Amino acid sequence: MILAVHEDLRRRVTAAVTGLYGLAPADLPQVPIAMPPNRGLGDLAVTVAFDLARRLRKPPRAVGQELAARLGVVPGVARVECAANGYLNVFLDRPAFLRDRLSNRVDGGGGAARDKVIVEHTAINPNKAAHIGHLRNCALGDTLVRSLRFLGHAVEIQNYIDDTGVQVADVVVGFRHLEGRSAADVEAIARDTRFDHYCWDLYARVTGWYEADKARLAVRAEALHEIERGEGESAAIGRLVADRIVRCHLKTMARLNVRYDLLTWEGDILRLQFWSKAFERLKADGAVYFQGSGRLAGCWVMRIEDGIAHAPRGAEAAEGALTREDAGEDAEQAEKVIVRSNGTVTYVGKDIAYQFWKFGLLGEDFHYRLFGETGHDGPLWATSSVATPEEAALRPSFGRARAVYNVIDVRQSYLQRLLSQALAAAGHPDEAERSHHFAYEMVALSHQTARHLGYAPEAEEAGRPFVEVSGRKGLGVKADDLVDTLIEKALAEVTARHPELPEPERRRTAETIAVAAVRYFMVRFSRGKVIAFDIDEALSFEGESGPYLQYSVVRAANIFQKLRERDGLDEAAVLGGLDGLAIEELAGNDDASGVWALVLEAARLDEIAQQAVRSLEFSGLAKWAFALAQLFNAFYHRYPVLNEERRDAKLWRAAGVAYFRMQMTRALDLMGIEVPARM
RNA sequence: GCGCCCGUAGCUCAGCUGGAUAGAGCGCCGGACUUCGAAUCCGUAGGUCGCAGGUUCGAGUCCUGCCGGGCGCGCCA
């Protein structure tokens, strides 16, 4: 793809700079590579002359001209020109470029084995059905996973299961006190209903039950204690609920092409006493200390480093540090309680222990059991508190990652920063640095959709642009319901277009279209923006949508289908026929729809994926794929392939179509979207 | 009170570590199916990039201060 070209060019430009100006390696400027606004100006642009001009006290243009001359002949490059303002414009050897991409001679990217990274995503409380907010999490998380793998990383996908929290306890309360059920009853319900949907409603009823009489919250506290101790009917129902709901979630996610390698159960972290181990380490390293007096007397606390992410620069830094030092009274506030004065550990404690384990810094490990479902890349494992025969036989290896990505919404930023600080304070600054919080904003409902769901907005929400989703109130759109609705709509479309196809095939096609619609929708917005979910917008198959992207690939595939039927040409034959062909077709500068514009843009997939991972911003990947599909559709209308008389033009166009198809299929795969045979 | 995020066309949003003339989708208006399938394409209209300063060859992008909105900050989970 294109990154190899960038790297080669960057190396040569750097060598030219060194040779011309004798700069020390430390003084060498970055060599940014951009794309000129149109193909007439060039295929790639190097802007290093601007940076150098300042240091060398020369006009950018003079520097650019010297560099261009010094570069000489570059393999794969037709020529390099210096524009009047100092841009170094690079014109690629177009025929060679396309032939090389098609024959995969230069697509070794991703071959080199890199370090293992852990991505944790989804983490839905196992007490109710998944909703659209959870879809944003797993769509982003899974796209991150796929992009990391595409870039050559080994990735372990974890899904954290909070089986011991209040949310499960609430549903237990619902079953026992509202419905008078036994564990056996619950097991039967789980078998005979859509259990997660059943619990969705039950959970909302329990919330109402508490609201009617706050004293009933004591019932919850009691259930929670029973669950923690692991004894009695409540604990049995709690285990049942968590297990069955997790299995429901896995089914929902599998529909969306989302899978995992390991389910980490909070209960195991508690039972295996990961926290006490982590606590010993933190004490030994001085990361936490005992507070003997004051407001927090009797607690073990961790100092909170304020402003780690936004350290003031330059002259103001000293000032800022001073004012912080002076604020002696605030120092006490900048401490986070880790162990309460009564000796119990706070919520962050187990998260710290888990994060240490992910980096292999805990000195303890889980036991493991097979969960009985298919994982991302082999069987799906779950943590266990006790040894199992399967772990003895298969010896799974989890944890010990070099980098960790926690995909979790922005409201958890404070906690996630604490995790990173705990690592740094315990003497692991590198791990702290590689501890990434992939934060994203919430999914709310548009007013129209909220009304459609029969929800009357409360007074304080009337003026806002959106309505908050509330699992406790049962307000929201269930993931399964959304997907079901999309499938039915897509099925109607497919049936209208292909009435001759058998029903199972039409349905299968509709399913891939529905998945494309949801997943693209969840990725297309910047992660820092609240999505006001609008059902009609999400259901759209036109314009900027997943199905639009799929359709472009289907068209490309159709061209080759017809090429085979009419001319006996397949992709290998097209590639083989390119040698010695006239190259006028590639020489044009039609940015909006020409073959060359299409090929060059398609080649940028690796560059785009790398940028997305670096910034954790996958809307860029989505937008790029959409723009590429637009480019193809425009090309499709303007430049016929099958009916083109001139053999050279026909073959170059076919080659461009083949490359587009290859790259767009890969891009869609990064977003977990498949391409149907027809649509 | 402190911290983080957001503010770009009527609506919903892109704009990559500062780069060449600010772009899409939806909606509006007008065109293109006897053609590789119209889930498509082409065209028109629509902008003081929240406001004001600053940094420099160059700012939607960086800095400062305001304005407006969202979220977070407990010995809770």
Q: CB neighbours of A580 closer than 8 A, spacing ≥ 6?
A: none
Residue A105: the pLDDT is 65
Cβ–Cβ < 8 Å for A438, A117: no
> What ranges make up the beta strands (E) of A529-646?
531-533
Q: Where are the alpha helices (DSSP H) in A193-231?
A: 195-212, 217-229
Same domain, A333 and A478: no
> Tens digit of pLDDT for each residue in A376-397?
888 999 999 999 999 999 999 9
Residue A24: the pLDDT is 81
Same domain, A657 and A609: yes
Give the CATH number of the domain where residue A153 resides: 3.40.50.620
Domain membership of residue A352 (yes or no) is: no
Q: Which domain holds residue A573?
A: 546-670
SS3 of A165-183: CHHHHHHHHHHHHHCCCCH
For residue A70, the one-letter residue type is: R
* C1' of B6 to CA of A441 (Å): 10
Helices and strands in chain A, H and E counts: 29, 16
Protein residue with the closest CA to the C1' atom of nucleotide B56: A54
Question: Mean pLDDT for chain A?
Answer: 90
Same domain, A558 and A501: no
Picking from A390, A418, A440, the residue at the C-terminal end of a domain is A440
Joined together, the tokens standing for residue A538 give 């999400």
A58 band by pLDDT with thresholds 50, 70 and 90: confident
Q: Is the pLDDT of residue A55 over 90?
A: no
Q: Where are the alpha helices (DSSP H) in A410-478?
A: 413-425, 429-433, 447-452
Same domain, A523 and A513: yes
> Tens digit of pLDDT for each residue in A497-550?
999 999 999 999 999 999 999 999 999 999 999 998 988 888 899 999 999 999
Picking from A539, A558, A593, the residue at the C-terminal end of a domain is A539
Domain membership of residue A677 (yes or no) is: no
Nearest nt to the CA of A465 via C1' is B69
> Tens digit of pLDDT for each residue in A141-167?
999 999 999 999 999 999 999 999 999
Residue A389: the pLDDT is 97
Joined together, the tokens standing for residue A259 give 């899978």
Domain membership of residue A48 (yes or no) is: yes
A462 band by pLDDT with thresholds 50, 70 and 90: low
Cβ–Cβ < 8 Å for A353, A275: yes
Same domain, A298 and A327: yes
A28 band by pLDDT with thresholds 50, 70 and 90: confident
Same domain, A338 and A414: yes
A640 touches strand B (CB under 7 A): yes
C-alpha span between A401 and A264 (Å, rounded):
15
Joined together, the tokens standing for residue A617 give 């911003």
Least confident range from A117-121, A230-234, A304-308, A578-582: namely A304-308
A526 touches strand B (CB under 7 A): yes
Nearest Cα to Cα of residue A604 among A34, A32, A11: A34
Share of chain A above pLDDT 90, in %: 75
> Tens digit of pLDDT for each residue in A98-112?
999 998 765 545 555
Picking from A539, A558, A573, the residue at the C-terminal end of a domain is A539
What is the pTM for the complete model shown? 0.94
Q: Is the pLDDT of residue A68 over 50?
A: yes
Protein residue with the closest CA to the C1' atom of nucleotide B14: A623
Joined together, the tokens standing for residue A521 give 């929708």
Domain membership of residue A570 (yes or no) is: yes
Domain membership of residue A220 (yes or no) is: yes
A337 touches strand B (CB under 7 A): yes
Same domain, A130 and A232: yes
Q: Decide which of A323 and A20 is more confident.
A: A20
Same domain, A85 and A136: no
Same domain, A570 and A630: yes
Domain membership of residue A97 (yes or no) is: no
Domain membership of residue A102 (yes or no) is: no
Q: Is the pLDDT of residue A265 over 50?
A: yes
- Give the DSSP H/E element, type plus range, for residue A265: strand A262-265
Give me the A residues in range 210-249 that sit within 7 A (CB) of strand B.
Answer: none
> Tens digit of pLDDT for each residue in A284-313?
988 899 998 888 899 999 987 754 332 222
Residue A374: the pLDDT is 83
Nearest Cα to Cα of residue A155 among A165, A142, A167, A164: A142
Same domain, A577 and A662: yes
Protein residue with the closest CA to the C1' atom of nucleotide B2: A306
Joined together, the tokens standing for residue A26 give 């430390």
Give mean pLDDT, residues A392-410.
96
Q: Is the pLDDT of residue A459 over 70?
A: no
Q: Which bases of chain B are under 7 A from a protein CB atom?
A: 2-6, 12-17, 19-21, 24-27, 35-42, 56-58, 64, 69-77
Q: Decide which of A309 and A255 is more confident.
A: A255
Q: How many domains does chain A have?
A: 5
> Tens digit of pLDDT for each residue in A351-373?
999 999 999 999 999 999 999 87
C-alpha span between A398 and A383 (Å, rounded):
10
Same domain, A374 and A256: yes
C-alpha span between A621 and A531 (Å, rounded):
18
Same domain, A317 and A244: no
> Tens digit of pLDDT for each residue in A557-615?
999 999 999 999 999 999 999 998 999 999 988 888 899 999 999 999 999 999 999 99
Nearest nt to the CA of A42 via C1' is B20
Cβ–Cβ < 8 Å for A624, A604: yes
Give the CATH number of the domain where residue A572 resides: 1.10.730.10
**Residue A391: what are its φ and ψ, rounded to 5°?**
-70, -30
